[in-house]
Amino acid sequence: MCSRWVVLAFYCLGQLCAGQSLKPQIAAPELATNNPTLTTVALEKPFCMFDSSLYPNKSYVIYLYTMKESASAISSLVTTTNSKPLNSTFQQTSGGKLGPYKAAMFNVPNCASPPKFTDVGDVNKVSDVLKQYLFRVGDDGSCLYDPNFLAVCNPPLTPDTTYRFKYVLVDSTEGIMKDQTLWSDPIKTRRAKLPLKIDTWPGRRSGGMIVITSILSVLVFLLLAGLLASVSSAVMGSEAASAEIKHVSQTVQQSEPRPQLSSE
């Protein structure tokens, strides 16, 4: 039963048509829970979006560009005047504030041969299947600080910030853009809770729950006190009994007649 809605969601991903706006979509809640997070956004990969632009014997890749919504419309271009895709980085654009940066590069999803739906029910395979359908922006927390990192950097996004995303189809051989989507709708990362607003004891507990908790605490204290008193009493009784036995033993020894030695 659980796998039916997952299969249905996958089917919808593979049935993107011309009537639908060609732009990145945030992943469905059934596929990615807790999305967006404070620093990441899970997007559906561009299945079937670029089929009309693909030609045989050609090699293509997908570039994913990210920018903050506050960036100006003039700076939202992702290609140069000769159709070369921009290689702007997170650092060069101040995290997307000055314009789009390349956040990812991956192969064109195979619309004709998607992952097997039967693998969804396999706990060991479901993670790999979801990775083929989804891409999580902001999922690399170390690339900015690794001097040996040479791939496209996909660092964490800023909390409580609105972003837009764009997919670009690039001819790997010629190194030029062949097609692109529209910019996505605004997607905002979650806002971090202030420390004063985080629930602490007895946060959001009713008066009845507080009374019950107090009574249980008192009962536990009385139970422990009674247990300690019982142990103490048993120890003292044992010591008194031992002393009494010792006293009786000494008295018996003193009352026994001593044998007299005979003299010759």
Residues 6 or more apart whose Cβ sits within 8 Å of residue 178 = 50, 53, 60, 169, 170, 171
pLDDT digit string, tens, across residues 116-145: 656 666 677 777 778 888 999 999 989 988
- Would the pLDDT of 3 be above 50? no
Identify the residue with better confidence: 159 or 256. Answer: 159
* pLDDT of the residue at 1: 43
Degrees to nearest 5, angle at CA 47 with 44 and 50: 125
pLDDT digit string, tens, across residues 22-59: 899 999 887 788 999 999 999 999 988 998 889 888 89
Between CA 189 and CA 34 the distance in angstroms is: 11
pLDDT digit string, tens, across residues 181-238: 999 999 999 998 766 655 555 555 556 666 777 788 887 888 888 888 777 777 776 6
Q: Are 164 and 67 in contact (CB under 8 A)?
A: yes
Instruction: Identify the burial level of 164 via C-beta atoms within 10 angstroms of its C-beta, where 0-12 means exposed, 13-18 middle and 19 or more buried.
Output: buried
* pLDDT of the residue at 193: 76
pLDDT digit string, tens, across residues 6-21: 444 444 444 444 334 6
Nearest Cα neighbor of 63 from 179, 147, 155, 162 is 179
Residues 6 or more apart whose Cβ sits within 8 Å of residue 162 = 68, 69, 70, 186, 187, 188, 189
